[in-house]
Amino acid sequence: MNITNALRIFRQLRQHFENPYLIALLRLGLVKLEYFPYTLHKGKNSYVMLARPATTALADLFVLREVLVEETYREVLPLLPQKGLRVVDIGANLGSFTIWLSQAAKVEEAFCFEPEPGSFQLLGFNLARNGCGFAHALDMAVGGQSRTASISLKQDSPGGTNIYSPSPGGERPRGSAIRVVALSEWLGQTPGTFDLLKMDCEGSEWEIVRQTSRSDLARFRAVIAEVHADPEEGQPVEQFGALLEAVGFRTVRWDRKAFSLYIGARDSRAAGS
């Protein structure tokens, strides 16, 4: 990390987080705690998020800054109606997105999928602590087809676990066996329409879109996804926008590179209708 970025992060800590100096010591590994309750503020919004401060899991603090302080997902808000929202959050991690959305808009019901065991425990705690009684925490991954998969647990980035083998030789990864449910199967058991499909699922977004019917995807008003490399067919990341457009979404934002955002809206369901 260069000095400019380090100073920017510390300014964020001082401006938005309580106990910024303790957080800095935790980040440097000079104070060691397995869990730490981060209390932070952005504008009129306040959050308490239990996370893992160990230097081997700095990704937790990164996610809190990205979602709650930098508000990376704010551009989706104009696409959502002014009513109680129904949301599907795939790759919920610590619960940051659903918790942020609940303070930025009115959420009536949210389904939060998180397969990594440690993150799932924190997800349930954080949803309850931040007043998200409307949210259902589901300890499973979502894909294009239902199956059991093994995930490699990444100590340095627990939110970065995925359901694909990292080995180019096709070796089965060591880790936890988790349930993967097809989005189409889950939708078949869950009635109604939804205002938003959020995906941050380390590559699974490709198979979800490919293998979910157009009619099922039409149940969503808008979609927002952090896009990763295509783990199965190796399509260029730039093609993700076309994949969503082919099933009826209008591209609102697409950065056309890995780890960037795609935002799409249904053409036939204009925002605010």
Of 198, 142, 191, 150, nearest to 170 (Cα)?
150
Give the model's pLDDT for residue 174. Answer: 53
Q: What is the pLDDT of residue 163?
A: 83
Return the CATH architecture of domain 72-266. 3-Layer(aba) Sandwich (3.40)
Percent of the chain clearing pLDDT 70 (strictly above): 89
Tell me the pTM. 0.91
Domain ranges of the chain: 1-64, 72-266
Strands (E), 57-169: 85-90, 107-113, 135-138, 141-143, 147-151
d(CA 262, CA 259): 10
Tell me the pLDDT tens digit for each residue of 203-258: 999 999 999 999 999 999 999 999 999 999 999 999 999 999 999 999 999 999 99
Structure tokens at 63: 């996610």
CA distance 16 to 68: 10
Q: 186 pLDDT exceeds 60? A: yes
Phi, psi of 61 (to 5 degrees): -65, -40
- Tokens linked to 156: 């340095």
DSSP 8-class letter at 68: I
pLDDT bracket for residue 171 (50, 70, 90): very low
Torsion over CA of 49, 50, 54 and 55, rounded to 10 degrees? Answer: -20
Q: Are 159 and 116 in contact (CB under 8 A)?
A: yes
pLDDT digits (tens, 9 = 90+) for 105-145: 999 999 999 999 999 999 999 999 999 999 999 999 999 99
